[in-house]
Amino acid sequence: MKGGWQSTVDTKFLMDRCFRVYVTKTQEIFEWYSSKTSRSIRWVFNYGESLAFFVEDWEKEDERIIRQIEDHVDQEVEYVLTDMQQIQNPFLCLLVMQLVTQQYDKYNSPFEIASFWDQIREARKDARILLTDCLCMETESPCARYWDLWKDEPIPLSHVRIELLPSYKLNCSVHQPVSAVITDAKSMCCMSSQMTAIEICYPENMLELYNFLKAIYLRRAVRFKRCRLCGKLFAAIDGERTEYCSRKYSGHKSCCDIGAVRVYQKKILSNPITRAYNRAYKTHNARIRYGTMTRAEFQTWVAEAKQLRGACQSGEISLDRFEKWLKQ
């Protein structure tokens, strides 16, 4: 039933394997469970991250993994999930699911893989328009822009239902290992666990998953912009003043950790007055270590240098005069 709710999730399938997705106020959570391998895998992203990563970060890696699955299609496909925790894109679980549910039919598998290729390309193309046009910071009304782009085309939400989940599962830190097994709400309620009603999608194909996320983004009107450091898309959920994304930029530091510092340093160092002052400051500070200047003398110099720097910036003295004083 397109454009509405469906609660016809195959319970036998859920007992064997489950892939589900739900979105909280701050996070997007993808969970896979397989009773066959007794494995549960959980991906947690900050709200607005998954489609931004899907559009700009995962494409090359996706192609490599799909080719790898394609090369082993006549073997046990579910082995891929043993390494899924190293795979950044949880959307690829859907291809594995489709192949597994076909009972490893080597004659039908090439068709399934080709169909998945088409779906992921279609979803990525649509997502680029969604994030860079409909939901960009410059768009005054996302709903009006959505109408311009897609007219009255409905967003089918198949295999979506409201369920009760323990609240603790909705407030976990990113990558915290929490079981992805289907939760028995009755047992949890009997144990007096705090529960929360939430929309959960059990997608059966790539487009179902994408449509679920697309609908949530549109309803919440989340806005996307380009990171000032790495230049990639991110959700500006903290408002227009947010300038940096949470991607890793250098080592363990993210763009938001070091972006503001780098931009500030670049702005400061582009000023010749500041450059001259910083250069002289380092020279005089080194004299303390060499024993040619006391700390008290250095502090006196700093106070006078800052006063003259201010005078130079206000135009009271020239840059040449300021630099000559610094070299004394």
pLDDT tens per residue, range 58-76: 988 888 888 877 776 655 5
Whether residues 180 and 279 share a domain: the answer is: no
Whether residues 291 and 201 share a domain: the answer is: no
pLDDT on residue 181:
47
Whether residues 195 and 304 share a domain: the answer is: no
Whether residues 39 and 158 share a domain: the answer is: yes
For residues 29-46, give the mean pLDDT: 81
Q: Select from 294, 304, 295 the least CA-distant residue to 326.
A: 304
Whether residues 166 and 300 share a domain: the answer is: no
Whether residues 205 and 317 share a domain: the answer is: no
pLDDT at 95 over 90: no
pLDDT on residue 160:
92
Q: Give the β-pairing of 224-226 and 233-235.
A: antiparallel
pTM for the whole structure: 0.72
Say which residues have a Cβ less than 8 Å from residue 235's Cβ, sequence separation at least 6. 46, 47, 48, 49, 52, 222, 223, 224
pLDDT on residue 264:
73
Q: How many CA atoms lie within 13 A of 68 on its CB side?
A: 15
pLDDT on residue 1:
26
For residues 143-156, give the mean pLDDT: 89
Q: Select from 15, 46, 47, 12 the least CA-distant residue to 219.
A: 47
Number of domains observed in the structure of the chain: 2
Residue 85 lies in a domain: yes
Whether residues 155 and 65 share a domain: the answer is: yes
Whether residues 198 and 290 share a domain: the answer is: no
Whether residues 121 and 206 share a domain: the answer is: yes
For residues 87-97, give the mean pLDDT: 83
CB 39 within 8 A of CB 81: yes
pLDDT on residue 49:
92
Summarised one tens digit per residue, pLDDT across range 152-161 is 788 989 899 9
pLDDT on residue 37:
65
Residue 111 lies in a domain: yes
Q: Which position has the higher pLDDT, 14 or 224? A: 224
Residue 302 lies in a domain: yes
Residue 116 lies in a domain: yes
**Model confidence at 80, in pLDDT bands (50, 70, 90)?**
low
pLDDT on residue 74:
59
**Dihedral of the CA atoms 279, 283, 285, 287 (nearest 10)?**
180
Whether residues 181 and 65 share a domain: the answer is: yes
What share of the chain in percent tops pLDDT 90? Answer: 26
Q: What ranges make up the beta strands (E) of 136-247? A: 160-166, 195-201, 224-226, 233-235
Summarised one tens digit per residue, pLDDT across range 152-203 is 788 989 899 988 887 766 665 554 444 444 555 566 666 666 788 889 999 9
**Model confidence at 30, in pLDDT bands (50, 70, 90)?**
very high
Residue 253 lies in a domain: no
> Residue 99's CB: how many other CB atoms inside 10 A?
23
Say which residues have a Cβ less than 8 Å from residue 164's Cβ, sequence separation at least 6. 183, 185, 188, 189, 195, 196, 197, 198
Distance, in Å, from the CA atom of 133 to the CA atom of 146, rounded to the nearest integer, reads: 9
Structural domain containing residue 286: 271-327
Rg (CA), the chain: 28
CB 247 within 8 A of CB 230: yes
Q: Is 158 helix (H, G, I), strand (E, B) or coil?
A: coil
Summarised one tens digit per residue, pLDDT across range 216-249 is 999 998 899 999 888 999 998 877 778 888 888 8
pLDDT on residue 14:
44
Whether residues 55 and 148 share a domain: the answer is: yes
pLDDT on residue 210:
96
CA angle 276, 279, 285 (to 5 degrees): 135
Residue 255 lies in a domain: no
Residue 57 lies in a domain: yes
Whether residues 172 and 299 share a domain: the answer is: no
